[in-house]
Structure 1
């Protein structure tokens, strides 16, 4: 049973993490232009004017776990049983399990106008986010509580928290160059909720009875807390994944890219700031219930899971609610260095800082990209507030009108998990309190007519050399953005 529980957490509950978050910054790839909307992907006299991924999924997926239970979860995942190493009863040690999935099913973008180098785009992606924290004692229960020797109540050793949210995101993006120093972009998204599940246990008590008259053992489990779900338990089916707007939502992203005279490029982003209203078949359970759970050998894990699920589904009512998406505030910077006189080798160091707006989460990254011709190799290091350091790598082929890349931001731990999957006991039983795996992949092509500058254009564009946002700024303030930026006393953003 614990194997099913582990797979459920790793593969079904996509949880908020910094997965494939940083590798494509300042890459001018199609994925980056949707994630960081101020980033452009078209270049006059070089590229075609339309781009599409032809429904080849551009994806990122990752999972990691931290805490004493890491080895136990790996043993159950790959060996179907465990010796429960490093699990300590009575200390209330917490573990964190996190996964993240972001799949761009379709992306289309086009160069709209030379005036402001305007770009517009449309995308359909499937996202998921959340978090999970559980104690060593929770994991040990799946062994029937053999390490619980005290017959007195165990109090508040099972105050776990689980959260997951999945949804479709249909987006429109607009990007414009305001001046030689500034580019801006925004992304407006309609959301369609797939599933939401949130359980918070505020108080927990367990009493063991290992000497019942019939020779079996049992435990009395009492849990107090709240369980919110977007569907009636047991009713979720495959057709719930089909896009609809029974659970509607909205999110926005906004980005600014600054180009300094010394060659430093800086991006400022507020990303995926939004909400989802769960109104299709939501339920809220304020539970305070006790259940007797049998601990017969071979069925203990299944019984514990069923008992806990039964308790958290008591005291329910059908009631809609609204949740927020995982909004982010980010800043990133880079500078390009040519390593040879013929401009074949280019070095591109990138620094990124990211903060979740509604949840606890801070991360930073340092990316080192070396490009030779059309091939880029990148090595990156990331660090977050869980004190995790990850080493990652990527390889990318990018020409003017084609791009494909593959990599991971969890290079070493992904290799360890691969060896564990192949049955290597050293990697399965390694005494580490952190492990994980991840992968990202992207593909896109540009097609259509060439983007031509006025000097090389086959037709002469008419009208002012101003984009929509620049004209709006001028109409409101009476000045163009570049006039305002260069005016006396003005300060740059």
Structure 2
């Protein structure tokens, strides 16, 4: 239990890996086109035919911890000290930790055909999602059992739920115009699982016998993972091997009205991973007496973990990916472009409501994004972007205040820097287009797809006509 909690919580300080980055929606960047499959990223008469990140940085990170554990987490992530003396115990108060990440290791996109504005792309991503609800007592028992009053019965104080899932995602994207205002796109992906943890403690109790140097702990719940101990995890786990395979699908559409209102909707990463390599699912419902606890905290911690570890049973299982439903609306007024984005997780808790305010001057733009996360977190994001038809570079954060406190606290190694929820968010990207310019037919002798009969049909019109005939 401790290994899951501390590993996830530590990500707050050094996790480099995706918030949704709503300020990049509707920007026609390479990120926008890969994340929102109906979006285009090439501009006729200006852009070159191919684009790539050339293994340059193209990533983001977002992590938030909420609850009265925030000082203890600051001590852990900013000062490197595991100290829970500030935690109130005995109430079963629940804290919440969230993390999601997305790294584009490699991305390549091409302009396929002038007719229907066809684009296709290939990408390799590393993704991670985590959500854990944990009590103060769950942290405190692994720091010092002396925090708990002897001869007192504690119930429900270790009830904890959480999961973490990370995987490689290899994708093919395709988009095309239906007409001048309407477009469709899809993203099909093959997945390779890296790490998986899921913990669900539904009932628990603790009793420390007075003057007997022993405690009684009871736990009921389940634990699923694809490894037994973090010491087993090495570099080999992070290379794609498809021992834990999966599939996912994203599809979306966008429409621009005559008055310039842009509307976009997507279902993203709807899929699953079949965890079947070195996997185990543990079900426990037992009490355990741990003796000789005085001055032996490490042994006590191991005895608690053994309640799960010694009951492991090999078992394969399916786990859904963190699919989302997104809706986005925007309209430009001169140098100002306001936008609203609403995103809801389909299988897990959470979602976002964001109001993106973008100010554009020539090739430069800056965005301010107040955002409310449906888990009860309010954040303000900032972004800067320089973009031409053949080059893009951007940098930003979805949680400016918390990230600033976290960075300053890390530099100073001071746990008392910052207030409110712990958090860290940062993203950046560089994309370059190359090759021939994609011109209109009247301006060039050779236009991709203009004389190619294989590209003369619309994939989506043919697809929809099949359903119509049925």
Q: Structure 2 length normalisation: TM-score?
A: 0.92
Q: In the alignment, what sits opposite 1:315? A: 311
CA 1:443–1:153: 2 relative to 1, 3 Å:
same
Distance 2:235 2:366 in 1: 39
What's the CA shift for 1:304? Answer: 4.5
5 Å-filtered alignment, 1:14-93, equals 19-79=19-79, 80=81, 82=83, 84-85=85-86, 87-93=87-93
Q: Structure 1 length normalisation: TM-score?
A: 0.87
Runs of 5+ consecutive residues of structure 2 not aligned to the other structure: none
CA 1:40–1:398: 2 relative to 1, 3 Å:
same
CA RMSD, Structure 1 to Structure 2 (Å): 2.6
5 Å-filtered alignment, 1:277-316, equals 277-289=274-286, 290-292=288-290, 294-297=292-295, 300=297, 302-316=298-312
Runs of 5+ consecutive residues of structure 1 not aligned to the other structure: 339-345, 479-493
CA 1:186–1:395: 2 relative to 1, 3 Å:
same
CA contact (8 A) 2:18 2:60 kept: no
CA contact (8 A) 1:277 1:323 kept: yes
SS in 2 for 1:317: coil
CA contact (8 A) 1:38 1:184 kept: yes
What's the CA shift for 1:349? Answer: 0.9
CA contact (8 A) 1:175 1:186 kept: yes
Q: In the alignment, what sits opposite 1:467? A: 458
Distance 2:58 2:82 in 1: 35
Q: In the alignment, what sits opposite 1:390? A: 379
5 Å-filtered alignment, 1:107-126, equals 107-126=107-126
Distance 1:118 1:94 in 2: 49
What's the CA shift for 1:181? Answer: 1.7
What's the CA shift for 1:51? Answer: 0.3
CA contact (8 A) 2:84 2:139 kept: no
What's the CA shift for 1:107? Answer: 0.3
Deviations 1:44-85 (A, max 9, x none): 111001001001131111221100110122123334254633
SS in 2 for 1:318: coil
Q: In the alignment, what sits opposite 1:417? A: 406
Distance 1:348 1:30 in 2: 19
Q: Would you say 1:249 and 2:246 are equivalent positions?
A: yes
Distance 1:130 1:55 in 2: 26
Distance 2:187 2:313 in 1: 36
What's the CA shift for 1:393? Answer: 0.2
Aligned length: 461
CA contact (8 A) 2:280 2:314 kept: yes
What's the CA shift for 1:20? Answer: 4.1
Q: In the alignment, what sits opposite 2:437? A: 450
Distance 2:63 2:28 in 1: 27
Distance 1:136 1:371 in 2: 46
Distance 1:127 1:296 in 2: 42
Distance 1:38 1:357 in 2: 20
